[in-house]
Amino acid sequence: MRSRRERNTFIELPWRIYRIGDPWVAPLVFERRRYLNPKRNPWFAHGEAELFLAFRDGEPVGRISAQIDRAFNDFHGERWGWFGFFECLEDPGAAAALLDAAEGWVRERGQERMVGPASFTMNDEAGILIEGYDRPPILQTPWHHPYYRTLMEGAGLAKAMDLFMWEQWFSELEVVPIIYELADKLEPEHGITLRKMRKRDLEDEIRRFVEVYNAAWSTNWAFIPISEEELVHAARENKPLLDEDWLWVAEKAEEAVGAALTFPDFNQVLARLDGRLLPFGWLKALWYRRKIDRVRVGFLGVKPEYQHTGVAAGLYVAHFNEASRKAQSGGEMGWILESNVAMNRGMEAMGAKVVRRYRMYERYLRDGG
């Protein structure tokens, strides 16, 4: 895809697929343009991508991206290609053609496996919704028609991994006492303290989070190392949306040993804007931002060598305390890999429940291993 017109068609295609009454939340068009622009998105420093459109009778009916993340392949010693941004009408032929086009692109570049959807990474929208169709998606999570799963599996893709979104509200909190006991011992027994991140020092805070992230999540399935440049860029782009009360770091002396990034659910605002801030969308944004009543706990992790100290418990308690006094009295945590037994058991222990499930798919390439 080369022309500006084709790129605009790619970005705007979901408006042809989703209808009034669907829980789908339209992204901001200008933000998606910047995200897809190699000159504006630092992901392209270690990744390359191609965008594809499917047409039937001259009308666009589907889209997909194909991408290779060199940082992922170098870290894991793998040859994975990815697909993402998948949207399609209920047209199995178009869906199969899109997936075949993505496969061909990554196979021509020497990849052995195709995994997705992830747009462009697992840290943006990832997975196909397979449970929870009746719920509006929370920030940076997709909503799909139920037939999307049929399109994937009908095209011969197999399940690779499921991702869980857990819901918890302060009014329904059921916390086992050990969580509070571990949190209380953090400083006296381990010399670890918790504090809120400072937006005025945002770039320094984000660099410290990157250190925690790349250590804490490194053994996860499909983990993709994140660079300081990428996260600093994302923080700058989204700084007006961040709330210091939901950004936490755990420290021992000068070392960051754990962190949590939680975000007010700006999807509750985006749902009112239909993808555009102009001419009057910004006024709606200012008004509805005050009415956000839930959060997404997007990242909560602890360096491996400190996971026995109760840092996670301390971060949970910090969230409980904020939820007891803020307008956002609960929300969703995730995604969490179905294979992350410890974290999923922890969610169950606090009375949380799985409210949505996403599925990552894979295809071993025809000329690959």
**Whole-number pLDDT of residue 362:** 98
- Tell me, yes or no, whether 65 lies in a domain: yes
If you average pLDDT over every residue of the chain, what do you get? 92
Q: What is the pLDDT of residue 369?
A: 42
User: What is the chain's alpha carbon radius of gyration, rounded to the nearest angstrom?
Assistant: 21
Whether residue 23 is contained in a domain is answered as yes
Kindly tell me if the per-residue pLDDT of 368 is higher than 60: no
Task: In whole angstroms, give the CA distance from residue 341 to residue 130.
Answer: 20
Considering the domain architecture, whether residues 18 and 90 belong to the same structural domain is answered as yes
Asked if omega into 117 is within 30° of 0 (cis), the reply is yes
186 lies in the same domain as 81: no
The two tokens of residue 196 are 């809120």
The β-bridge partners of 356 are 165
Question: Contact at 8 Å (CB) between 237 and 206?
Answer: no
As a whole number of angstroms, the distance between CA 117 and CA 73 comes to 17
Do 56 and 174 share a structural domain?
no
Domain membership flag for residue 351: yes
- For residues 24 and 70, membership in a common domain is answered with yes
DSSP result, 310-325: THHHHHHHHHHHHHTT
Q: Are both 269 and 302 inside the same structural domain?
A: yes
| 107 and 253 belong to one structural domain | no
Q: Do residues 63 and 179 both lie within one domain?
A: no
Assess contact for 285 and 277: CB atoms under 8 A.
yes
What is the Cα–Cα distance from 336 to 210, expressed in whole angstroms? 19
Total of domains in the chain:
2
Residues 135 and 21 in one domain: yes
| Bridge-based pairing state of the strands 125-126 and 118-119 | antiparallel
Distance, CA of 145 to CA of 24 (rounded, Å): 9
Q: Tell me: do 320 and 198 sit in the same domain.
A: yes
Q: Using 50, 70 and 90 to split pLDDT, how confident is the model at 202?
A: confident
Residues 148 and 186 grouped into a single domain: no
pLDDT at residue 251 is higher than 70: yes
Q: Characterize the bridge pairing of strands 295-302 and 330-337.
A: parallel
Place of tokens 């719920």: 135
- Long-range CB pairs of 89-93 (<8 Å, 24+ gap) are 89/16, 89/17, 89/61, 89/62, 90/145, 90/147, 90/151, 91/54, 91/56, 91/61, 91/62, 92/150, 92/151, 92/154, 92/155
The CA distances from residue 209 to 35, 61, 135, 228, in Å, are 22, 40, 31, 9
pLDDT score recorded for residue 367: 55
Same domain, 147 and 223: no
| CATH number assigned to the domain comprising residue 73 | 3.40.630.30
Q: How far is CA 210 from CA 87, 244, 300, in A?
A: 31, 17, 12
Do 185 and 110 lie in a common domain?
no
1 pLDDT band (50/70/90 cuts)? low
Domain span including residue 42: 4-163+360-364
Phi-psi region of 275 (alpha: psi -120 to 50; beta: other; left: phi over 0): left
pLDDT at 349: 82
- DSSP SS3 for 67: strand
Give the distance from CA 269 to its chain's centroid.
18
Residue 309 has pLDDT above 50, yes or no: yes
What is the pLDDT at residue 353? Answer: 94
pLDDT band at 350 (very low <50, low <70, confident <90, very high): confident
Domain-embedded: residue 369: no
- Predicted structure pTM score: 0.93
Residues in the chain: 369
Percent of the chain with pLDDT over 70: 98
User: What are the φ/ψ torsions at residue 40 (nearest 5 degrees)?
Assistant: -115, -20
Res 168 pLDDT > 80: yes
Mapped onto helix, strand or coil, the DSSP state of residue 266 is coil
